[in-house]
Amino acid sequence: MIPLRDEIKSHRVPVINTLIILLNIVVFVYLWFMVPADSTNLVFEFAFIPSDFLDAPTNLVNIRNVFTALFLHAGILHLGGNMLYLWIFGDNVEDVLGHIPYLIFYLAGGIGATMAHLLTNPGSSIPTVGASGAIAAVLGAYLVLYPQSRILTFIPIGFFVILRMIPAAVVLMVWFILQLFQGVLTLGGPDIGGTAFWAHIGGFIFGVICALLFMKPRQAEKRHRW
């Protein structure tokens, strides 16, 4: 299932969410089109590498890379998929939190996701990049805030394609269960296809917990009722 849009309109302009999306796009274009000869070296320089972090957790470069890795992507599909999810779900979470709290939440979610990946892959020397852990936190918060919201969803079935409005709770829980299933398969071994499933899982759980503790689901639903 691929979400295409939700039915909830934001009351605030999603300034931070839009800037995060633009920053990810600008970094990708610069990295892969403006300096293609050095792109691989730059990815290694600014990616998060679990084994390097554990070797020197107080090293400023390793701390920096926890954040810079959130704005690097390995390819156009990686970037496009992440930004699609952030575009659909991020604006509504920002609407509830406000601009600066949303930015703090997004970055904290990325840190939480990175730590989940670190705990499950402590010896990995594979560079980890992508916004998906932070976006997973946004998805977890959205699930708590707007479980009844309907998502226009692209569903491929063989050679056929179906478009359906599906409750957010169904779309997001199916996504989470798939991440959890694949994450369990990677325990004790490398991530499948290079995907950091435990970063997704950790980010999602972080978002759910933050929404339950600090956000107000009922008020969010009332605010967006038309």
**pLDDT for residue 34:** 77
Q: Which ranges constitute the DSSP H helices of 30-166?
A: 39-46, 50-55, 60-68, 76-97, 99-120, 132-145
Looking at residue 38, its pLDDT comes to 75
Q: What is the reported pLDDT for 111?
A: 97
Take residue 38 and report the two structure tokens written for it: 């050095």
Please write the tens of the pLDDT for every residue from 59-76.
999 999 999 999 999 889
Residues of the chain scoring pLDDT < 50 = 226
Candidates 138, 162, 157; CA nearest to 4 is 162
Instruction: Round to whole Å and give the CA distance between 137 and 162.
Output: 28
Element (H, E) at 212: helix 197-214
CATH code for the structural domain at 2-223: 1.20.1540.10
The pLDDT of residue 145 is 94
| Amino acid 226: pLDDT | 46
Domain ranges for the chain, please list them: 2-223
Amino acid 220: pLDDT: 61
pLDDT for 190: 58
pLDDT of residue 224: 55
